[in-house]
Each structure stands twice: as C-alpha cells, then as structure tokens.
C-alpha cells in the first residue's frame, strides 16, 4: 500500500528477478504448489511482499483457474469456539501463499442464501467448513466442484472430503472419568445434536456403565446454546434425585448451566460441578473459569489446511476422518463430592 499509484505496478518478472528464480517458479509458488523448496518459496514470497506485487486475481482465475483464496464457512460466529482453529488454518495457508476469507453460514441462511454461494461465485480454490452445518449433506454438490475439508465437525462423510476434528469420544471419556474420580455418582449430561453431540453422549454413557453407574443415566437434550444449557440444567436441578455434576456438550451450554445453578442457590463447585467442552475464550475468563476439554483446535486447523494443500497438489486421499487428541483443562468449576464449602 506504500507504493505510489503512478508507479508502474510490479510484474511477475520483477518478482522473479528479485527472488533470483525463474518466472515459472514464481508462478508455481503463487499457485500454492507443494513442490517448491521451502527456501525458494520463502524468497519468492518475500519478493512479493517487498515489491507489493499483486496478481490480478480476476484475470488469473480465468487463465490459471486459481484465485489463491480459500473460503472458510463458519457455522455460527456467535459461538467463539473456532478462533484458535482459524489461527492454525491461517498460519499454514499463509505459508503457502494462500489467502483466507470467511463467511457465517447462519447469516447466509437467515437471508435465504446458499451458504457457500459467495465463495463459489468468486471461484475460491477450496473450502473449509468449520463446525456442524444444519444441512451437511448439501455439501455434496459443492464437493464435486472444488476441494472441501470439514474441520471441527464429524459430518458429512463424503467421497473426497476430509474430516478433521478432535476425538469427541475420548474427550467425553476424560470428562466422565474426571467426575467419577472426584467421587460423583449422579452425573447428568446436557447433550447436543448432530454426530458430535451423539459421540460425546455415547462415550459419556459408556464410561458411566464401565464404572457400574449405568443405572439412572440422565441426559437432557439441548440446542447447544447458553439458553438451551440453562433450560436443560433447570430441569435437571428440579429432579428429586438432583445430580451433583453436570457435563455440558459445549462451553456455552455450560455457562448456561452455571447460571441455572446460581439461580437455584447452588454454589459451583461446592454444591455442583460443571464441565464444558471446547476450551473457548469464555471458559478461560477468570469470572467463569470453567473445567473443559481442550479440543486441540489449533492443531485441527493446521491439519485441515494440510489436507487442503495436499488436495491442491493432487495428492489427496479418498477422504476420511482424522482425529486430534483432546486434553482435559481442570479449572475452578469442578471439585470432589462433599468438599466442605
């Protein structure tokens, strides 16, 4: 942007000269090829930056069929669980000369648009879908036209589509073992929807059964929002056999559970332990300080970017699920059963 408008714009020739490489190598780097030596790629990208070289994306997309842009479709901007994942995605995409643009599928749906529409119109090179879409099967048509990677969700499973996520079953198991280990016996689950919701719920139930706590498993469904978590927990706390611990399907529902506890006059964690999932910025607020599962978002983002780059380079596999290992973040919302207040 520091270049004067009257100067001759730099050409690909200028970039090649400055980087000390051939024009075709510059072109390879700009197309995101994985076949260029890292030092050469770095030299080219440095020359691009220093000269302020800006390829004409519209003209290029007609000639080379590449825009060097990846579309990222988020399921709902209001739940900030995806922020770390974008960091991971962006770091690797940028290292490979690719831009990232975002869209919020909730906003597009509300106005009746096809969620991926703007990206298709602009001929992005690939699409990363972050989180569970209300209609995951609709991605099939998009996946026929360009590489699609699903990150942080477990569906749809489609030919040629990579799915990268954390291991939801392992994460739910870590939570349940933690609560059982603290002495809790009446542990309830505020469940979610979709494949992610199902995997977390099933692992929760299986772990309880392994500990001989299979009788009286209590699961309340929710829509995975704060309001939903609140309402489900209000129902749970009004039961005759009140649970002493609640495992919510995600952090935002867990924050709703905290409010329900507060309104019922219960102190967390003294009277009720609460656990979330995702390790969002909200869980890390000192005022919330929620025990939760870190879903390895940054790593999931990097792996999703790697899958996309492999597909661009033509070395993608038939598609499948790749899982990163989640870890438990123990904070202030869980405590041993019967701890003196």
For a copy of itself, which residue of 2, 39, 215, 241 counts as binding (CB under 8 A)?
2
User: 302: closest CA among 84, 73, 36, 72?
Assistant: 84
CA 51, 57, 59, 65 torsion-angle sign:
positive
For a copy of itself, which residue of 11, 22, 113, 238 counts as binding (CB under 8 A)?
113
- Residue numbers 34-93 binding a copy of itself by CB under 8 A: 49, 54-55, 57-59, 61-62, 67-69, 71, 77-78, 80, 83, 86-87, 90-91
For a copy of itself, which residue of 15, 16, 142, 172 counts as binding (CB under 8 A)?
142
CB of 286 to a copy of itself, least distance (A): 3
The answer to the question of residue 121 lying near a copy of itself (CB under 8 A) is yes
Coil, helix or strand for 67? coil
Sole residue written with tokens 């609709």? 138
Between residues 52 and 214, which has the closer beta carbon with respect to a copy of itself? 52
CB 100 within 8 A of CB 130: no
Query: What backbone torsions phi and psi does residue 173 show, to the nearest 5 degrees?
Result: -65, -45
The answer to the question of residue 6 lying near a copy of itself (CB under 8 A) is no
Binding mask 300-339 for a copy of itself (x = CB under 8 A): ----------------------------------------
CB 228 within 8 A of CB 253: yes
- Residue numbers 183-212 binding a copy of itself by CB under 8 A: none
Q: Which two tokens stand for residue 265?
A: 């006059």
The answer to the question of residue 138 lying near a copy of itself (CB under 8 A) is yes
Crossing angle of helices 38-51 and 23-30, in 10° steps, is: 90
- Residue numbers 252-281 binding a copy of itself by CB under 8 A: 255-256, 258-259, 262-263, 281
Q: 127 has which bridge partners?
A: 71, 148
Between residues 5 and 240, which has the closer beta carbon with respect to a copy of itself? 5
The answer to the question of residue 144 lying near a copy of itself (CB under 8 A) is yes
Q: 188 has which bridge partners?
A: 218, 246
Cβ-in-10-Å burial (0-12, 13-18, 19+) of 250 comes to buried
Coil, helix or strand for 244? coil
The Cα–Cα gap between 72 and 69 comes to 10
The size of the chain, in residues, is: 341
CB of 62 to a copy of itself, least distance (A): 6
The answer to the question of residue 240 lying near a copy of itself (CB under 8 A) is no
CA 301, 304, 308, 314 torsion-angle sign:
positive
The answer to the question of residue 11 lying near a copy of itself (CB under 8 A) is no
The answer to the question of residue 285 lying near a copy of itself (CB under 8 A) is yes
CB of 126 to a copy of itself, least distance (A): 14
Binding site for a copy of itself (CB under 8 A): 1-3, 5, 49, 54-55, 57-59, 61-62, 67-69, 71, 77-78, 80, 83, 86-87, 90-91, 94, 99-104, 107-108, 110-114, 116-123, 138, 141-142, 144, 226, 230, 255-256, 258-259, 262-263, 281-282, 285-288
């Amino acid at each position: 942007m520091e270049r004067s408008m009257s100067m001759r714009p730099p050409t690909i020739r200028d970039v090649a000269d400055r980087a000390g490489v051939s024009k075709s190598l510059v072109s390879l780097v700009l197309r995101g090829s994985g076949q260029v030596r890292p030092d050469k790629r770095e030299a080219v990208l440095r020359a691009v930056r220093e000269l302020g070289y800006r390829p004409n994306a519209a003209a290029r997309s007609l000639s080379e069929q590449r825009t060097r842009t990846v579309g990222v479709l988020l399921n709902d901007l209001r739940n900030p669980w995806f922020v770390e994942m974008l960091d991971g995605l962006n770091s690797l995409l940028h290292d490979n000369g690719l831009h990232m643009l975002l869209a919020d599928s909730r906003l597009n749906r509300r106005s009746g648009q096809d969620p991926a529409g703007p990206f298709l119109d602009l001929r992005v090179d690939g699409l990363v879908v972050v989180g569970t879409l209300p209609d995951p099967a609709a991605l099939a048509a998009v996946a026929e036209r360009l590489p699609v990677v699903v990150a942080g969700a477990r569906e749809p499973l489609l030919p040629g589509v990579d799915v990268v996520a954390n291991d939801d079953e392992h994460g739910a198991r870590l939570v349940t073992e933690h609560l059982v280990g603290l002495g809790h016996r009446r542990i309830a689950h505020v469940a979610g929807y979709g494949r992610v919701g199902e995997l977390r719920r099933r692992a929760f139930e299986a772990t309880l059964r392994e500990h001989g706590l299979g009788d009286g498993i209590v699961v309340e469904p929710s829509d995975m929002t704060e309001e939903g978590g609140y309402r489900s927990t209000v129902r749970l706390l009004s039961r005759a056999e009140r649970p002493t611990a609640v495992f919510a399907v995600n952090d935002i529902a867990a924050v709703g559970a905290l409010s329900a506890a507060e309104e019922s006059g219960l102190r967390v964690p003294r009277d009720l332990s609460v656990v979330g999932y995702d390790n969002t910025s909200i869980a890390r607020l000192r005022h919330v300080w929620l025990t939760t599962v870190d879903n390895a978002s940054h790593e999931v983002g990097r792996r999703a970017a790697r899958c996309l780059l492999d597909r661009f380079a033509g070395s993608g596999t038939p598609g499948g699920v790749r899982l990163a290992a989640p870890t438990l973040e123990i904070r202030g919302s869980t405590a041993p059963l019967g701890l003196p207040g």
